[in-house]
Amino acid sequence: MFTGIISDLGRIRAIAAAADRRFEISARHATGGIGVGASICCSGTCVTVIDKEPDWFAYTASAETLARTTMGNWRIGRPVNLERCLKMGDEIGGHLVSGHVDGVATVLTAAPDGASLKLVIQAPEALKQMIAAKGSVAVDGVSLTVNSIDGAAFAVNIIPHTRDTTTLGNLRAGDAVNLEIDVMARYVARLLALGGQI
């Protein structure tokens, strides 16, 4: 589990293309405390560390992950939002994030709103009933509060700190992002789909 509070901005340093693709991510913070087998959230997707050096780590993405996230289109040099997994007793500054992407969404608009950046994002149609105004979503791994909803589109504001320390400040109309809806909304939707029966 994660909280959607980004702790580092990494960058893709190498990609080995195969059925399962290996990514190497440069990290600004030392990776000494990251063990092989540890979980890291990379722009919203939970991955497992398989190799590391002091300034980078590697993971393998399956064909399923590549198909269901933006990761299949990543290229060398791309910045990546990084978050270490939550430890018992850690502060939950954002909201509980699983790192399991529910769908790929599209940025409709990105415009200044005071000192912030306002993003309007089009969610996949199947997810719209699970996004609520003043509820939480994770966009590329960043915990955000939904300001408003219009059909499957929702608006969020990116404050200057988040804009400067994550990839969200560089988003433009047409960009694809990994979207994770609030974990509780998943179970409520499942319960309703079953007619309220458990």
Q: Are residues 72 and 141 in the same domain?
A: no
Question: What was the pLDDT predicted at 114?
Answer: 95
Q: What is the pLDDT of residues 136-179, one digit of tens each?
A: 999 999 999 999 999 999 999 999 999 999 999 999 999 999 99
- The gap from C-alpha 50 to its chain's centroid, in whole angstroms, comes to 20
- The gap from C-alpha 156 to its chain's centroid, in whole angstroms, comes to 14
Note whether residue 92 is domain-resident.
no
Question: What was the pLDDT predicted at 125?
Answer: 96
Q: Are residues 13 and 74 in the same domain?
A: yes
Q: Are residues 74 and 108 in the same domain?
A: no
pTM of the entire predicted model: 0.92
Asked if pLDDT for residue 131 goes beyond 90, the answer is yes
| pLDDT band per the 50, 70, 90 thresholds, residue 198 | low
Mean pLDDT rounded to a whole number for the chain = 92
Note whether residue 2 is domain-resident.
no
CA dist 83 → 142, 148, 192 (Å): 9, 27, 32
Q: Give the separation between CA 74 and CA 175, rounded to whole angstroms.
A: 12
Q: Are residues 36 and 112 in the same domain?
A: no
Q: What is the pLDDT of residues 169-180, one digit of tens each?
A: 999 999 999 999
Q: What is the pLDDT of residues 25-75, one digit of tens each?
A: 999 876 778 889 999 999 999 999 999 999 999 999 999 999 999 999 999
The DSSP 8-state label assigned to residue 85 in this structure reads: P
| pLDDT band per the 50, 70, 90 thresholds, residue 196 | low
Full residue range of the structural domain in which residue 135 is found: 103-193
Single-letter residue type at 69: T
- Tokens 């059925």 identify what position? 19
- Tokens 């988040």 identify what position? 162
CATH number of domain containing 136: 2.40.30.20
The closest of 136, 125, 145 to 181, measured between CA atoms, is 136
CA dist 98 → 3, 101, 125, 142 (Å): 8, 8, 21, 12
Structure tokens at 45: 């997707």
Question: What was the pLDDT predicted at 19?
Answer: 75
